[in-house]
Amino acid sequence: MRRLLAATNNRGKLSEILSLLDGLPMEIVTPDKVGLSLEVAETGSTYEENASLKAIAFMHASGLVALADDSGLEVDALDGLPGIRSARFSPLPNASDADRRAYLLNLLKPYPRPWIAHFHCTVAIAAPDEQIYFTQGNCPGEIIPFERGTNGFGYDPIFFIPEVGMTMAELSMSKKNLLSHRARAIKAAIPILLELLEKPSGLPI
């Protein structure tokens, strides 16, 4: 069985990635399973740069093909903020997800609703032959001023999807895997992963 490293320490992301790749003819391993304790600074100015920084670092550390993503929430009224700084948006040190949601809602108070927004995800796949592959996905919606749902993480409880009349945090994992930005980006990456699997020098044993 070939192995693919899910290159993130974020438990919420890991859960989604493992669910989305379930059933592929490869073993999806997590950093702790291969003995990795690695933190990668997201110093890039684009989603592609940050995703590739993480994928490349985990690939070199493990010798495995590594899949990483960088994602963000982009709010029209805030000219695309928080964007690539979504995970670091609050000015509070060691801010929690709840702190970031509260900070975002406070910034949006002067603007009329609806607060149109979308989630974006860029996936990077780093192979040991130094090739990097990218896929992308978006999920349109809007920000609401109160939290709904207990699933998911990050901004999910205040991200409303009119298509289904629910927030991202109210979706079951199976429903989220049909609609989310990460689901769309990872599903687009599956043909690349399967092609790598077929190459003799592709996914390491």
- As averages over each run of 10 residues, the pLDDT of the chain (205 residues) reads 87 88 91 89 92 96 94 97 93 92 97 97 93 97 97 93 96 91 95 81 54
Residue 74 host element (H or E): strand 65-75
- Has 76 been annotated as catalytic? no
- Spatial contact of 101 and 155, defined as CB atoms under 8 Å apart: yes
Residue type present at position 46: T
- Residue 86 pLDDT: 94
- Residue 200 pLDDT: 59
Residue type present at position 26: M
User: Which token pair is 193?
Assistant: 């992963």
- Residue 198 pLDDT: 74
Q: Could you say which of 22, 69, 70, 129 is catalytic? A: 70
Domain boundary assignment for the chain: 3-198
Q: Please state which architecture CATH assigns to domain 3-198.
A: Alpha-Beta Complex (3.90)
- Residue 185 pLDDT: 97
User: From CA 5, how far away is CA 75, in angstroms rounded?
Assistant: 31
Q: What are phi and psi of 97, to 5 degrees?
A: -60, -40
Residue type present at position 31: P
User: From CA 157, how far away is CA 171, in angstroms rounded?
Assistant: 10
